[in-house]
Amino acid sequence: MSRPKRAVILLSGGLDSATVLAEASGMGFEIYALTVLYGQRHEIESAAANRVAKAFGVARHVEQRIDLRAFGGSALTDDIGVPKDRDEAEMADGIPITYVPARNTIFLSLALAWAETLGAFDIFVGVNCVDYSGYPDCRPEYLRAFENLANLATKAGVEGSGRFQIHAPLLTMTKDQIIARGMKLGVDYGLTHSCYDPTPAGGSCGRCDSCRLRLAAFEKLGLKDPILYVVD
Amino acid sequence: MSRPKRAVILLSGGLDSATVLAEASGMGFEIYALTVLYGQRHEIESAAANRVAKAFGVARHVEQRIDLRAFGGSALTDDIGVPKDRDEAEMADGIPITYVPARNTIFLSLALAWAETLGAFDIFVGVNCVDYSGYPDCRPEYLRAFENLANLATKAGVEGSGRFQIHAPLLTMTKDQIIARGMKLGVDYGLTHSCYDPTPAGGSCGRCDSCRLRLAAFEKLGLKDPILYVVD
């Protein structure tokens, strides 16, 4: 019996990355989950990532903390307000205020370092371009460029023992398609967290872009979102 | 009078990055120095980076700490021995034991995040392919791939307000050429640190690959290396 192939999964504890983890697990990979905490306000994500990793019995879950606040520049890292109650047109307009400079590049670089150390060539990431088209580091051309870089950057890539692949299985799925897929794969979305502006105890606001997209998707499926929303 | 352009410099506190900082400063950039400490044994580098940053009066010096030990896999991050007394042929053979998976990709990603936040498009890195040809992430094709990625990954790159450039001014220089250049630019190499296996007080071993390359380069120039070597 051959050992299962290993994969590194970027796990934020959100809905998307939980689905991606389930997808990689369903493909037979041994899962190494990487959570990068980058000085955002809500380390509640850390707890969610732990719950999801545990639920799927991953081989290992590593957290890396990076202080992106030292650089500044985003709603998720600075103390500027999170926009609320925006409609879909407003959300879709331009690069979101929640854009974090080079975030996915930093995340994928760390995943690459771990993958090479593990002898893994498969990296999974929950990026998605449908609901939220404004993030430059969620586009297919970006992901291809990173894949190219990964194979030039590493001993494993250069020595030809394999080729790194960045898997983004959610890339062209809408939020409700993602949830429907995850339900089939056995994801318990009650373990996940999406809100940009949660209460200290972890309740979701229901009004930021992330909550609104999530709520609308569950509604479209005729399902109730299992997480707790705290209305002002 | 126009404001000087900003640049982010990856500053390890070693000889090469100090020279690169001097080069960027000489080109008229306002300097933002980034030191990434990645769980190597010798945080003595941190002190050296601080000395160099201060000597050049940089606009800002930020340290980021990442625990690459959580991933394992290198002489600089694990507790395996540092090779000593190797000759040039041995050093040049294959990918060095001191290779750290995806190290430059992680460093450049962090530099990119900061650059975008600062409105800077110029990133300087002290990589060099001559003395030590084995690192895959020191090759020109790697640097070009990162540059390409940077311009796809970011709001600044996509919106076309500029194009990110990765400057590697030492790329094709030998160690003695680097030192000669740095002396012209006013670098005090007594502030820098290169040893892979220093004493707790910061003395250099004189026998690891890094010390040997450095010592040989000073000798070739007929100069005395100003740092302290502690002989066993």
Q: Convert the pLDDT of each residue in B113-162 to its tens digit.
A: 999 999 999 999 999 887 556 788 889 999 999 999 999 999 888 887 89
Per-residue buried b or exposed e for B137-161, using 16+ beta carbons within 10 Å of the residue's own CB: bbbeebbebbbbbbbbbbbbbbeee
Asked whether residue A165 is assigned to any structural domain, the reply reads yes
Strands B30-37 and B60-65: parallel
Asked whether residue A100 is assigned to any structural domain, the reply reads yes
Among A3-12, A64-73, A105-114, B12-21, the minimum mean pLDDT is found in: A64-73
* Identity of the residue in B68, B142, B158 whose CB atom sits nearest the CB atom of A152: B142
d(CA B231, CA A44) in angstroms, rounded, equals 51
Beta bridge pairs of residue B174? none
pLDDT of residue A114: 96
3-state secondary structure of A162: coil
Asked whether residue A46 is assigned to any structural domain, the reply reads yes
For residues B181 and B21, the answer to whether their CB atoms sit within 8 Å is no
Chain A touched by B99 (CB under 8 Å): yes
Asked whether residue B226 is assigned to any structural domain, the reply reads no
> What average pLDDT does range B191-219 have in this prediction?
92
Percent above pLDDT 70 for chain A: 90
pLDDT of residue A45: 87
Can you read off the two tokens belonging to residue B138? 């020191």
What's at A39, amino acid-wise?
G
* Identity of the residue in B67, B108, B136 whose CB atom sits nearest the CB atom of A152: B136
With bands split at pLDDT 50, 70 and 90, how would you rate the model's confidence at B218? very high
Asked whether residue A206 is assigned to any structural domain, the reply reads no
d(CA A121, CA A113) in angstroms, rounded, equals 11
* Identity of the residue in A73, A136, A152 whose CB atom sits nearest the CB atom of B153: A136
Q: Convert the pLDDT of each residue in A123-136 to its tens digit.
A: 999 998 875 567 88
The shortest C-alpha distance from A94 to chain B (Å) reads 10
Residue with the bigger pLDDT between A224 and B82: it is A224
Q: Convert the pLDDT of each residue in B61-94 to its tens digit.
A: 999 999 888 887 665 555 567 788 888 777 776 6
Chain A touched by B155 (CB under 8 Å): yes
Percent above pLDDT 70 for chain B: 90
CATH code of B150's domain? 3.40.50.620
d(CA B83, CA A140) in angstroms, rounded, equals 43
> What average pLDDT does range A42-50 have in this prediction?
88
Cβ <8 Å between A139 and B152: yes
* pLDDT > 70? residue A41: no
* pLDDT > 80? residue A98: no
Per-residue buried b or exposed e for B14-30, using 16+ beta carbons within 10 Å of the residue's own CB: bbbbbbbbbbbbeeebb
* pLDDT > 90? residue A155: no
Chain B touched by A68 (CB under 8 Å): yes
Asked whether residue B150 is assigned to any structural domain, the reply reads yes
Asked whether residue B130 is assigned to any structural domain, the reply reads yes
A200 to each of A40, A208, B90, B224, how far by Cα in Å?
Answer: 13, 16, 57, 59
The mean pLDDT value of chain B amounts to 89
d(CA A76, CA A80) in angstroms, rounded, equals 8
pLDDT of residue A77: 54
Strands B30-37 and B122-124: unpaired
- Best interface-test mutation with B: which of A121, A154, A161, A163 has the largest number of B CBs within 10 A? A154
Chain A touched by B97 (CB under 8 Å): no
Strands B6-10 and B122-124: parallel
Can you read off the two tokens belonging to residue B81? 């021995």
pLDDT of residue B73: 64
Q: How far apart are the first and last CA of chain A?
A: 55
Q: Convert the pLDDT of each residue in A177-213 to its tens digit.
A: 999 999 999 999 999 999 988 888 889 999 988 899 9
What's at B47, amino acid-wise?
A
A135-139, A154-158, A217-221, B161-165: range with highest mean pLDDT: A217-221
For residues B15 and B192, the answer to whether their CB atoms sit within 8 Å is yes
Can you read off the two tokens belonging to residue B37? 């400490």
Q: How far apart are the first and last CA of chain B?
A: 55
Query: How many distinct helices (H) and strands (E) make up chain B?
Result: 8, 5
- Domain residue limits at A86: 6-188
Write out the E strands in B156-225.
165-167
Q: What is the H or E stretch that residue B7 is in?
A: strand B6-10
Provide the greatest CA pair distance for chain B: 56
pLDDT of residue B79: 58
d(CA B59, CA B31) in angstroms, rounded, equals 6
Overall number of domains in chain B: 1
d(CA A61, CA B135) in angstroms, rounded, equals 28
pLDDT of residue A126: 95
For residues B62 and B33, the answer to whether their CB atoms sit within 8 Å is yes
Strands A122-124 and A60-65: unpaired
Cβ <8 Å between A113 and B71: yes
Q: What is the H or E stretch that residue A181 is in?
A: helix A175-184
Q: What is the H or E stretch that residue A164 is in?
A: none
Asked whether residue A1 is assigned to any structural domain, the reply reads no
